[in-house]
Amino acid sequence: MTLLELSQWLEETGPAVLVRESIYGFQVLVGVHLFGIILSVGALMWLDLRMMGLTMRSARVSELNRSLAPWFLIGFAMMFASGLLLFAGFATAAYGNLFFRIKMAVIVLAGLNALYFHFTTGRTQPHWDAMAEPPAAVRFAGLASLVMWSIVILAGRMMSYTMF
């Protein structure tokens, strides 16, 4: 089965039909998706800015991460679930959309950035956790995260103008 055939099949599932044909399904899902973005990327942005040494310089990165993690994780779960349903409703249109492909590729890169940070630079956190200006690798990880999530949001917005 090709990706296009999988997309066509996905569009015929019950949830996908509900997204397309219910009076408010699409609008509610977009609202949930946007709220998830606000929670997830909004909270993550503050952590990234702290990792870059640009804000909250007296706060420990670990404490900020611990207090913001529930927000960005709940937001990400909302974004993921609503995004999956939105994709199901319009899978073939998304399949051929350049901005959808950019968005998905950059989401993967953002995840790889987070994993790389966690398993490499993050392991040295006790040494730089309280530093007002963390080491260059930490600042770069924060900057990369901010840039990538900005691209994800912009690509998602561009999908609205180019899919239909």
Residue 1 pLDDT: 86
Tally of domains within the chain = 1
Report pLDDT digits (tens) over 19-55.
Answer: 999 999 999 999 999 999 999 999 999 999 999 999 9
Report pLDDT digits (tens) over 1-23.
Answer: 899 999 999 999 999 999 999 99
Non-local (6+) Cβ contacts of 118 within 8 A are none
- Residues 51 and 68: beta-carbon distance below 8 Å: no
Q: Say whether pLDDT at 70 is over 80.
A: yes
Q: Could you tell me which of 126, 147, 37, 46 has the C-alpha nearest to residue 86?
A: 37
Q: Say whether pLDDT at 58 is over 90.
A: yes
Residue range(s) defining the domain that contains residue 129: 3-162
CA 129 – CA 131 distance, rounded (Å): 6
Task: Look at the alpha carbons of 48, 51, 54, 60 in this order and tell me if their dihedral is positive or negative.
Answer: positive
What is the secondary structure of 112-130 as a DSSP string? HHHHHHHHTGGGGHHHHTT
Task: Say what the pTM is.
Answer: 0.91
Q: Say whether pLDDT at 122 is over 90.
A: no
